[in-house]
Structure 1
Amino acid sequence: MNEIYRAIEEKIKASGYSGTFTGEEVYNDICDEIEDKENGTYLLLSKKENGDTFTYNVSIFDDDFNLSILKINSGEDEFIINFDE
């Protein structure tokens, strides 16, 4: 799992986002948001304590999920991270 967390962190940092986060927090946030959802593709919003908004574009499968796009809005700044690239 640590490899997944590191990959998430690297992609987000490469976008220029400088807010406080960990790959594990992002991963767990997604898991919490998709709990009890049926298979399909969803846009999920998560507002952080600092006011930043994370919008996840997630496809859910029986035993897995795929985060394809993460959009972070931080004040006037917007960061778009494509995890499929």
Structure 2
Amino acid sequence: MEEIYRLIEEKIKEAGHEGNVSGKDIYDEICDQIEEAENGSYIFMSKKDDDVFFEYKIDVMDDNFNLSYIDINTPQGKIHVDFDN
């Protein structure tokens, strides 16, 4: 699991986000959101502080999920983090 957490953090930093992020926290939040979800594609929003929120695009399947992208919305603009590439 540590590898997954590190990958999430690295992708976000590579996309240009300079704030602190926790891959574990993001992964856990996604798991909580999709716990009872049916198969399909979902967009989830998560407010991180007063002026920053994350938008997750997730595809839920029977035994797993795919984090397609995260859009990090800040006062300076949007940072798109593509996990499908």
Asked whether the two chains share a fold, i.e. TM above 0.5, the reply is yes
**TM-score class, shorter:** over 0.9
- Residue identity over aligned pairs, in percent, reads 46
Structure 2 residue matching 1:48: 3-state secondary structure: strand
Tell me how far apart the structure 2 counterparts of residues 29 and 36 of structure 1 sit (CA, whole Å): 13
Tell me how far apart the structure 2 counterparts of residues 17 and 39 of structure 1 sit (CA, whole Å): 30
- Length-normalised TM-score, structure 2: 0.93
1:38 aligns with 2:1: no
> Residue type of the partner of 1:14?
E
- Length-normalised TM-score, structure 1: 0.93
Structure 1 residue matching 2:7: 3-state secondary structure: helix
Per-residue deviation, 1:42: 0.6
Can you give the 5+ residue segments of structure 2 that lack an aligned partner in the other structure? none
1:2 aligns with 2:27: no
1:67 aligns with 2:67: yes
Per-residue deviation, 1:49: 2.9
Tell me how far apart the structure 2 counterparts of residues 9 and 50 of structure 1 sit (CA, whole Å): 21
> Residue type of the partner of 2:37?
K
Matched with 2:76 is 76
Residues 52 and 32 (structure 1 numbering): CA distance in 2 closer, same or farther, change over 3 Å?
Answer: same
Deviations 1:54-76 (A, max 9, x none): 11110001110000111010113
Tell me how far apart the structure 2 counterparts of residues 75 and 30 of structure 1 sit (CA, whole Å): 24
| RMSD, aligned α-carbons | 1.1
Query: After TM superposition, which residue ranges in structure 1, 4 or more long, deviate above 3 angstroms?
Result: none
